[in-house]
Amino acid sequence: MCILTLLILLSDIQIPVIHKIVPKGLNLINKTFAGGRVVVTREEVLRIIKENTGKENIVESLEIEGDVIKIRFKEKIDDATLLEIYNKLRELEGIRQVEIGFVRETKDENLEITEEMILEKLKEVIDPEIGMDVVNLGLIYELKINPDKTVYIKMTMTTPGCPLTLWLLRAVEEKVLEIPGVRDVEVELTFDPPWTPDRMSEEAKKRLGML
């Protein structure tokens, strides 16, 4: 076959063009990929925290385990800011759960324990499905501080089949144990009476668009 014939044959071959399509608006900068899925980076989480708190060194520890983000802050953050951080982290692609805690204070057996102190601490326990803390949701039915500085809590869930029941019960127990002076915590689950939206605080109803 002569060179001229070969060139003519090659000119008739249609070579397919492969286009790499990236969805419009998808930002792949600073993204890490593992097993075909996007993995949230520490830098991304810290950026969200800084944007909402205005502080850089407020995080004591940060762990990203698959689809779970665990954060422990060095200092107290107001409820509105905490909820904003929580919601923005939950919106990140691939994130299913966000656990937020604070540095455990030094225990002091002589420190007075009050109901207000415990309820304030329980506001750090946020129902991941609703994005609201257990106090404003009205999940805490009874709270008792015993003379031996043990704490009894009776609480409920929004539904009997709530898949986060065990996680919320454990979170309530752990948060109360972080309070200086608390020796032990007993958390009892009840559905009598059943929870209704009427038990929510006005703040919760406003945030959820019910008022």
What pLDDT score does 34 carry? Answer: 47
Distance CA 187, CA 190 (A): 10
What pLDDT score does 28 carry? Answer: 35
Distance CA 64, CA 62 (A): 7
What amino acid is encoded at 156 in this protein?
Answer: T
The CATH number fitting domain 108-201, selected from 3.30.300.130, 3.90.1170.40, 3.30.70.1380, 3.40.630.10: 3.30.300.130
Distance CA 130, CA 90 (A): 11
> Which of 19, 147, 152, 133 minimizes the C-alpha distance to 79?
133
Q: In what order do the strands lie in the sheet with 68-73?
A: 59-65, 68-73, 97-102
Assigned fold of 32-103: GMP Synthetase; Chain A, domain 3 (3.30.300)
Can you give the pLDDT of all 211 residues of the chain as single tens digits? 444 333 334 444 443 333 333 333 333 334 444 455 567 899 999 999 999 999 988 998 999 988 889 898 888 788 788 888 988 998 998 888 888 877 655 556 677 899 999 999 999 999 988 889 999 999 999 999 999 999 999 999 999 988 889 889 989 999 999 998 898 899 999 999 999 999 999 989 988 888 7
Copy the structure tokens of residue 175. 């948060």
pLDDT digits (tens, 9 = 90+) for 16-45: 333 333 333 333 334 444 455 567 899 999
What pLDDT score does 107 carry? Answer: 54
Cβ atoms of residues 151 and 186 within 8 Å: yes
What amino acid is encoded at 44 in this protein?
Answer: E
What pLDDT score does 7 carry? Answer: 35
pLDDT digits (tens, 9 = 90+) for 54-65: 998 899 899 998
Cβ atoms of residues 106 and 180 within 8 Å: yes
What pLDDT score does 211 carry? Answer: 72
Residue 144, strand partner residues:
152
Domain locations in the chain as residue ranges: 32-103, 108-201
Q: What predicted TM-score, i.e. pTM, was given to this entire model?
A: 0.53
What pLDDT score does 141 carry? Answer: 98
Residue 132, strand partner residues:
127
Largest interatomic CA distance in the chain: 104
Find how far residue 170's CA is from the centre of its chain.
15
Q: Give yes or no on whether 32-103 and 108-201 have one common fold.
A: yes
